[in-house]
Amino acid sequence: MTSVIDYVPGDTLLHRLNPVTKLAVAVAVIVATLLADTYPLLVGLIALTLALGAYAGALRRLTSLLKVLVPLAAIMLALQTAVVRTGAPVAAWITVDGLVTGSKACLRLLGVAMPLILMLSVTKMGDLANACVEVLHVPYRYAFTFTTALRFVPVFSQEMTAIMEAQTARGVEYDTRNPFRKLRLMLPMCVPLLVSSVGKTDATALAAEQRGFYLRTRESSYRRYPLVARDWATLACCVALVAIGAAL
């Protein structure tokens, strides 16, 4: 089962960037999205993320993520129009200010969620942890914890799918459209999923301890992650992107 954060092999410029630079690109797009207040810039940032995804061969991952985000954005738009009642009325309780606030919130939701997924798709978790330790001087135990948590996301997703298939074989109908009944059916799955996660976490901790995890230092990695010219140029573009977001 493929996850949206699984590594997408490739030899593009985006793949060859330093992992810290890729993380900076994602942060720059997210910050610019949060600072932007105009529709052209918000749409442009989303288009930039999709264009980078197409260039890196990860567009299918972003498309599958959009299928989840678009319904959430529609719910957010409905909530915003119900809460914001100022401005000229449009129809029923909907006002112009409600539509503007809700639509910008929806665009920000899409613009904030996709960049980090894109950068994780073109970066190996081991390289990300080692680069953060070497370049950003993050303690290795924190970098390892972060990347390990990300690795467990597809594992837990597969565990939940297996549990649902086992329950479906026993006659449980998870395809109901009633959200309350679906929630009631999903709650009992938390117990076996929790038991499985505790077991996997304990096994991972024991394996890491046996491999000398607490002896690991910043110099322990056999690979080096220097920032080269393309990384500095990309970082300059990130600063410019944030400045544009703040100005517009």
Rounded Cα gap, residues 55 and 16, in angstroms = 13
Q: CA of 67: how far to CAs of 26, 60, 61, 246, in Å?
A: 20, 11, 10, 29
Report DSSP letters for 2-35, one per residue. Answer: --TTS-----SHHHHS-HHHHHHHHHHHHHHHHH
pLDDT in tens, 152-191: 777 777 777 777 777 777 777 767 677 677 777 777 777 7
What's the mean per-residue pLDDT of the chain?
82
Residue reference for tokens 């980078």: 52
Rounded Cα gap, residues 118 and 115, in angstroms = 5
Is the CA virtual torsion 59, 64, 68, 73 positive or negative? positive
Rounded Cα gap, residues 37 and 248, in angstroms = 6
Phi, psi of 186 (to 5 degrees): -80, -30
pLDDT in tens, 109-136: 888 988 988 888 888 888 888 888 888 8
Helices (H), the chain: 13-16, 19-35, 39-56, 59-83, 96-121, 125-135, 140-169, 179-186, 190-210, 229-247
- Does the pLDDT of residue 216 top 80, yes or no? no
Rounded Cα gap, residues 72 and 74, in angstroms = 5
pTM over the 0.75 mark: yes
Q: Which helix (H) or strand (E) holds 91?
A: strand 89-91
Radius of gyration of the CA atoms of the chain, in A: 22
Q: Which of 144, 118, 139, 141 is nearest to 129 (CA)?
A: 144
Rounded Cα gap, residues 33 and 54, in angstroms = 20
Q: What is the mean predicted confidence (pLDDT) over 47-67?
A: 88
The residue count for the chain: 248
Rounded Cα gap, residues 2 and 4, in angstroms = 7
Q: What is the mean predicted confidence (pLDDT) over 60-81?
A: 85
- Does the pLDDT of residue 2 top 60, yes or no? no
Beta-bridged to residue 95, according to DSSP, are 89
Is the CA virtual torsion 212, 214, 215, 216 positive or negative? positive
**Mean pLDDT comparison of 56-70, 164-178, 213-227, highest-scoring range:** 56-70
